[in-house]
Structure formats: C-alpha cells, structure tokens
Amino acid sequence: METKKFAVIGHPIGHTMSPFIHTRLFELQGVKAEYTKLDIAPENLEYEFKNTLSRLDGFNITIPHKQAVIPFLDEIDAKAEMYGSVNTVSNKNGISKGYTTDPDGFLKALDAAGIMLNGRIVIIGCGGVARTMAYEVVLKKQPLLFAVRKEDLKIAEALCDEIRKTVAGCDVSFCLIDELSGDIDVLINATPIGMYPKIENQPVSDSVINRCANVFDAVYNPLETMLVKKARANGATAESGMAMLVWQAVVSHEHWDGSVYNKGDIAQLCIDSAKELEKNF
C-alpha cells in the first residue's frame, strides 16, 4: 500500500495539533499516510506550492496563507468562495481544490453535542471565528445577536452590515455584553476569554450563564473552560472548542478520501487531543 503524504502549512508554524489529530484520523480509517508540518514564509508560498505542495495528496492551511493560497488553486468550493478563505486543499488527478472546513466543523461539533442552532442565538465577540459561526446561523434563517465590548461596537456594526448584504432577509443585530438579558437558547463564545493560562476568566456573568439552555465555547484549551463547567453545572448542554477543532479536521478527511467517522471515536479523540495539548503547556 502506497503511503499518502499530507501536511499543514503556516508561518510561523510553531506548535500545532494538526499532526496529532490527523495522524489519529488516518489510523482510525486504516489509511497509510504521513502528516508533517511545513513552515513556509509568505514570499515563498508560490514556489513551495509548485514544487512541494502540489505533489502532496492534500494539505491544511493556517495563518497567514488562508487567502494567499487561493490564486494558486485550480478550484475552490462554494463555501470557501463565500468565506474568501481556504484551510484544506485536496490534490486529485492533477487538480488542486480548496475548501474551508471550519463552518462544517462547527456544525458537526454542535450536532455531536446535541445542540440545535435555533431559537435565540447569541455570539460573544465579532472577530474571524464569530464571523464564520454567524454566517452558519443566519444561513439557517435564525435570528442572531452579537454581544461585544464597547471598543468593538464599530466592528460589530460593520460585520452586521456585511452579513445583511450577503444573506438577504437575515435578522442580525448587536449589543454590549453588559446589556445581555433574557433567556438564551444557544450562547456561543467566539472570544479567547477563558483560554489557558487565564482559565478562571469567563466571557459573561453567572447570571447570563444561568439563563442559557445550550453553550458552545470556541476555546479548546482547557477542554472544559469555566464557561462550559458552569453551564453544565447549571444543567445546560455545553461543548468546548476542541470538538470543533477535531471535527473540522474530520471534514478535511471527508474531502481527501471520503472517510466516515463515528461520534464515539471523535469524542475520544477530543479527550486525547486535550491531553496531548497539556503536554506542551
């Protein structure tokens, strides 16, 4: 059996969970593959694409190449085109095709946790992660409220305007985090608040957490953030960002070789990935 070759590229690449997660995913499917990481400076991207990356069976992309790689690809799928970003490339029969797996990774993580994207949905933050999640919410024709810090009000306003222009008829608005009130069906933290080492921090007050039926925290280190811990203690369904990190990797494999995974194996991989992450901090 021929060994397939894959990699993750970025600059600086530093520590990344991609080799650990993807190697395990290949093992689960019995696929013989090597997965490495490549530090590629922006000025070398075109050269490396032609001489190295195009010869791989596929590769993942992190900062700062998610937009820069697009001109070198033969094709990109519709969702990657909508987001203007590619984080996965499949090389098949001499054709390179780009995808973005973050949106589907987000949806699959919610599905695996039993969280439905409906009702009153609030996203904390208005950065890149929030943007990805927001589009998935409004594409499901659900109303969305961004809750942000005072210094981010203009960014939130601009993001709401962008989303309204892109998705006709959507219901999207924003407010200050301190103004959040009422019951929330799904609360999503799209900020780094609560990330290691400041694990005692949380993006909203206890009173807000107590009014949430479901919580998703994009932070994946630690596996159980203070937000997730308190939500679960209050009886809410809650999931951490490690699930999204692993499920978006699963989506890469779906594009590469059509692999299908069961939720139990992925749940265990999330736990194992969190333990692996702890070794590096």
CA 137 vs CA 50, 73, 122, 144, 222: distances in Å? 37, 28, 10, 7, 25
| 218 annotated ligand-binding residue | yes
Q: 263, 258, 232: which is closest to 247 by C-alpha?
A: 263
165 part of the active site: no
Any bridge partners for residue 186, and if so which? 121, 214
According to the annotation, is 62 in a ligand binding site? Answer: yes
Q: According to DSSP H, which parts of 167-234 are helical?
A: 206-209, 226-233
C-alpha 96/C-alpha 49 separation (Å) is: 10
The answer to whether the annotation marks 47 as part of a ligand binding site is no
Whether residue 17 is annotated as binding a ligand: the answer is yes
Report the Cα–Cα distance between both ends of the chain, in Å, rounded. Answer: 37
| Active-site residue, from 66, 108, 229, 230 | 66
Is 220 within any annotated ligand binding site? yes
Query: Cα 34–40–46 angle (5° rounding)?
Result: 105
Is 101 annotated among the ligand-binding residues?
A: no
18 assigned ligand-binding residue? yes
Grouping H, G, I as helix, E, B as strand and the rest as coil, residue 68 is coil
Calpha distance 236→231 (Å, rounded): 5
Active site residues: 66
Point out the annotated binding site: 16-18, 62, 87, 102, 218, 220, 241, 248
Binding region for NADP(+)? 218, 241
- Annotated binding-site members for shikimate: 16-18, 62, 87, 102, 220, 248
